[in-house]
């Protein structure tokens, strides 16, 4: 699925003799509800972004001229910016005492970073939480350059967070042309936070609604993620 939010604008220019042309997404969309994307294929120019073959070759690939990218909604099933149940979970309702990091959350720890944080709370050093095997293998060819007899070995990318865009958060960030995106982390409001407001230092509210005092969500990082390596 293209990394493009359906609520965003599209552009279309008819050429001479054309009655209809597919409306291509505008570059770097940022409108509509927040959606998730893969760091490997979501931002424009990322390692597995959409590519097309030039007409005169079967080897050289060029960037997709429609700027569609390929990573929206491809990862992160079960995640969304609003990670709290409606009304929240209270200790009184449960009849037990919970750690502060658990109150009102849908089973997510405070400061949890999807794609990076291991179940024990520490950060992974490779991308095994984002892609099977860490997302990359290298092939050592057989005799000479015989790749048909090669050996494939896992060579995972470094840890990569799930990325989100929409509600004012852009799909492509950084200098490019291999753009990056904005990671998420569980954050808790110390006061009511308006849409696009800062929830905690370095993370903003991209849910499109007011985050009430004490509520939690996956806040969107204000600084772009590192390039995929």
Domain boundaries along the sequence of the chain = 129-157
pLDDT of residue 70: 66
pLDDT of residue 77: 54
**Tokens linked to 12:** 């279309």
Considering Cα of 92, then 95, then 96, then 102, what sign does the dihedral take? negative
pLDDT of residue 103: 46
* Low pLDDT (below 50) residues in the chain: 1, 74-75, 85-99, 101-105
Measure CA 43 to chain center. Answer: 8
pTM: 0.75
pLDDT of residue 151: 87
In sequence order, the β-bridge partners of residue 153 are 138
pLDDT of residue 85: 42
**Closest of 88, 42, 86 to residue 68, by C-alpha:** 42
């Amino acid at each position: 699925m293209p990394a493009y939010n359906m609520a965003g604008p599209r552009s279309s220019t008819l050429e001479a003799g054309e009655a209809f042309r597919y409306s291509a997404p505008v570059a770097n969309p940022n409108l509509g509800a927040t959606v998730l994307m893969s760091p490997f294929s979501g931002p424009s120019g990322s390692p597995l972004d959409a590519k097309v073959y030039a007409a005169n070759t079967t080897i050289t690939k060029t960037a997709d001229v429609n700027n569609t990218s390929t990573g929206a909604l491809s990862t992160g099933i079960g995640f969304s910016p609003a990670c709290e149940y409606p009304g929240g979970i209270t200790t009184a309702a449960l009849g037990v005492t919970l750690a502060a990091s658990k109150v009102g959350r849908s089973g997510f720890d405070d400061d949890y970073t999807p794609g990076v944080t291991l179940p024990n709370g520490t950060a992974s050093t490779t991308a095994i939480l984002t892609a099977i095997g860490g997302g990359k293998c290298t092939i050592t060819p057989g005799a000479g350059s015989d790749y048909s007899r090669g050996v494939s070995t896992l060579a995972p990318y470094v840890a990569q967070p799930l990325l989100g865009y929409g509600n004012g958060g852009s799909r492509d960030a950084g200098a490019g042309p291999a753009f990056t995106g904005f990671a998420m982390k569980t954050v808790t409001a110390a006061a009511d936070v308006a849409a696009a407001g800062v929830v905690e230092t370095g993370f903003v509210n991209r849910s499109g609604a007011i985050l009430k005092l004490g509520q939690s969500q996956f806040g969107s990082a204000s600084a772009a993620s590192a390039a995929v390596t």
